[in-house]
Chain A
């Protein structure tokens, strides 16, 4: 009964995150190598202060919040409708594609890797049916950005592999 009256929110989990973050960050700061000259603890003070603040903020958040509300928010997240789940899947796919982009960027050069990245991204947002349009936009984007940055703005980008 009581559970139903709780308004779902993420406050308790956020507080928990803050405490855990503070503890890990503070622990890492404490075990950091000391300064070779001057006060050896000099580089440690500030991070320790930040860690303390994280723990204090986290504890207050935990005290103020209701764990049941966060659990309810988590349940709501899992039971969201398919449309919202698909939105999250889009984010996941984008992350995977972007990771792939980072891996091939230097090897395949800007134009090819960006064409593939943009084509994949446009396929996610526009669907497979519009593949020709997606390919055209991806190609136009990759070539024009390469031209603008590499030629006009003199920012060197990895060229096509066979041009090296």
Chain B
């Protein structure tokens, strides 16, 4: 415990340097702005703003990206409250009561409680993360390549099977991601794979290009339909943004209860902020004395999902930082940012780059406080960005996507890949294929294959190595359950449907 506190203090020593404070604030404000734009969530925010950090050192870059990540989480609910359009899936639950509150002339209370709940949820989750990150990483240090391979299989199958009612399509998405990860020269044997003789493809398809393609290009393509529909005007003039009356009394338990639940759900691969916020909203609806007001502007109905959402976003960092396996699309993008900076997330991060790992954890505390300070008094100024018409905004996002792609690869070949992926994003949306499993697979695919081959070689090509340890057996059980339970659910549902018919 004392060691954790000492490490955290060292982390604060890094995060509280004036330059880093400035970076986390700038990153946070930019993240808030991108996060609040309808359709552009934290993943897009991190992907589009990533090139901004290319000239910085790893610590400074990581602190900036943490600001962007948490800022985007804060910002996501602004558009939910003001124009009934969530910035991302996790901010969906904020529309249920946030928008009715704004309609009733209580936008100030809604904006304030959303920032307060996000702050408290984020802080509780950051404390839990401080306590859990290193022990989890310490446990994972004992993993051999076989366990690592199975861990990734478990994470991927959980993500794929949690794709709502779309398990098979989740797996298809994963398969496409794994296939993309195999492009390029094989690191162990030097064999060229799926390069079609193209020199640029020998180094593989950069996962950041895939991320920008799917999240920035794909999202803009999907959002083109909003140009035809026209946009809603957001309220931009406010009284003092703060809570009033019994707002705090009604919200405090909702916030405190939802934070740990959000954190736990967030730390599970595939679950993420959307599920956490929806689950906590429903919990509060059942627990509240004012359950009849839910959906019509109940403040606790906004406070609970906001707290859960932020807590989940920090919980999701645990598997990414401590195990090197991202649990959601957005943390996959964050992991991409780390890898680009030459830092391999995983158990060794806490041993080899303790300053960076703890600096990042400390900057989560700092970012939460700074963002609450920025978001409450300045909400009125920040939401003016919602007044930017999408017809101007989307070309700008596309322009940033291309410059980001060029900054990563220094070649225009990736522009073509970006275009293909953007179109793929639209087709996947149309066919109801989730994109998160694909992104995750692209990021972990390479390591997953190398771990598999290492284990296979160590055991002299004996497959029993994958079931020899207790950890392996538990991971196999998790994988089987994650696939088996939804199948059982589907069978039960079709049986019920057959009976009713």
| B398 A155 Cβ-Cβ under 8 A | no
Give the residues in chain A near B171, CB-CB below 8 Å. Answer: 53, 57
Report the minimum CB–CB distance from A43 to chain B (whole Å). 4
| A14 B431 Cβ-Cβ under 8 A | yes
Contact-size category for A: 35 or more
Q: Which residue of A lies closest to B391 (CB)?
A: A125
| A122 B194 Cβ-Cβ under 8 A | no
Any B CB within 8 A of the CB of A45: yes
B:417-456 near A, CB below 8 Å: 418-419, 422-423, 426, 430-433, 449, 452-453, 456
Interface centre among A29, A98, A106 (most CB of B within 10 A): A98
Any A CB within 8 A of the CB of B412: yes
Any B CB within 8 A of the CB of A75: no
Give the residues in chain A near B179, CB-CB below 8 Å. Answer: 21, 25, 47, 50, 54
Dominant secondary structure at the A interface: helix
| B175 A87 Cβ-Cβ under 8 A | no
Given A46-B182, A153-B54, A155-B54, A35:B191 Cβ within 8 A: yes
Given A18-B172, A53-B171, A35:B189 Cβ within 8 A: yes
Q: Which residue of A lies closest to B56 (CB)?
A: A153
| B55 A125 Cβ-Cβ under 8 A | no
Given A14-B431, A122-B391, A125-B391, A117:B419 Cβ within 8 A: no
CA–CA, A58 to B391, complex, Å? 38
Any B CB within 8 A of the CB of A83: yes
Q: B452-478 interface mask toward A, CB cutoff 8 Å, 1 = contact, 0 = none?
A: 110011000100000000000000000
Any A CB within 8 A of the CB of B58: no
Among A35, A54, A101, point to the contact of B415 (Cβ < 8 A): A101
| B191 A9 Cβ-Cβ under 8 A | no
Given A10-B431, A98-B415, A155-B54, A141:B189 Cβ within 8 A: no
Any B CB within 8 A of the CB of A34: yes
Q: Which residue of A lies closest to B415 (CB)?
A: A102
Q: B152-187 interface mask toward A, CB cutoff 8 Å, 1 = contact, 0 = none?
A: 000000000000000011011001101100100010
Any A CB within 8 A of the CB of B247: no
Q: Which residue of A lies closest to B452 (CB)?
A: A46
Any B CB within 8 A of the CB of A118: yes
| B398 A42 Cβ-Cβ under 8 A | no
Report the minimum CB–CB distance from A121 to chain B (whole Å). 4
CA–CA, A86 to B192, complex, Å? 41
Report the minimum CB–CB distance from B20 to chain A (whole Å). 18
Give the residues in chain B near A10, CB-CB below 8 Å. Answer: 430-432
| B221 A61 Cβ-Cβ under 8 A | no
Any A CB within 8 A of the CB of B402: yes
| B227 A90 Cβ-Cβ under 8 A | yes
| B189 A90 Cβ-Cβ under 8 A | no
Q: Which residue of A lies closest to B221 (CB)?
A: A91
CA–CA, A43 to B228, complex, Å? 48
Report the minimum CB–CB distance from B450 to chain A (whole Å). 9
| A33 B175 Cβ-Cβ under 8 A | no
Any A CB within 8 A of the CB of B51: yes
| A125 B394 Cβ-Cβ under 8 A | yes
Q: B388-416 interface mask toward A, CB cutoff 8 Å, 1 = contact, 0 = none?
A: 01111011101110110011000010011
Given A90-B227, A122-B392, A18:B175 Cβ within 8 A: yes
Any B CB within 8 A of the CB of A149: yes
Q: B373-397 interface mask toward A, CB cutoff 8 Å, 1 = contact, 0 = none?
A: 0000000000000000111101110
A:62-112 near B, CB below 8 Å: 64, 83-84, 86-87, 90-91, 94-95, 98-99, 101-103, 105-106
| A149 B51 Cβ-Cβ under 8 A | yes
Q: Which residue of A lies closest to B403 (CB)?
A: A145
Report the minimum CB–CB distance from B350 to chain A (whole Å). 29
Give the residues in chain B near A42, CB-CB below 8 Å. Answer: 186, 188-189, 453
| B55 A87 Cβ-Cβ under 8 A | no
Give the residues in chain B near A35, CB-CB below 8 Å. Answer: 186, 188-191
Give the residues in chain B near A114, CB-CB below 8 Å. Answer: 399, 402-403
Give the residues in chain B near A43, CB-CB below 8 Å. Answer: 186, 188-189, 191, 193
Give the residues in chain B near A58, CB-CB below 8 Å. Answer: 172
Any A CB within 8 A of the CB of B17: no
CA–CA, A101 to B217, complex, Å? 15
| A45 B453 Cβ-Cβ under 8 A | yes
CA–CA, A87 to B228, complex, Å? 7
Q: A16-36 interface mask toward B, CB cutoff 8 Å, 1 = contact, 0 = none?
A: 001001100100110011111
Give the residues in chain A near B225, CB-CB below 8 Å. Answer: 84, 87
Any A CB within 8 A of the CB of B238: no
Give the residues in chain B near A18, CB-CB below 8 Å. Answer: 172, 175
CA–CA, A13 to B392, complex, Å? 36
| B188 A99 Cβ-Cβ under 8 A | no
CA–CA, A43 to B453, complex, Å? 9
CA–CA, A34 to B186, complex, Å? 11
| A141 B191 Cβ-Cβ under 8 A | no
| B399 A118 Cβ-Cβ under 8 A | yes
CA–CA, A15 to B168, complex, Å? 9
Given contacts A10-B432, A86-B228, A152-B55, 12 further A-B contacts (CB under 8 A): A18-B175, A21-B175, A29-B193, A32-B192, A34-B191, A38-B189, A84-B228, A91-B423, A102-B415, A117-B399, A125-B392, A153-B55
What are 30 A-to-B residue pairs whose CB atoms are below 8 Å?
A10-B432, A13-B431, A14-B172, A21-B175, A29-B193, A32-B193, A33-B192, A35-B186, A35-B188, A36-B189, A42-B188, A46-B178, A46-B449, A47-B194, A60-B168, A84-B225, A84-B228, A87-B224, A90-B227, A91-B221, A95-B419, A98-B402, A98-B418, A122-B391, A125-B227, A126-B392, A145-B400, A149-B51, A153-B55, A155-B51
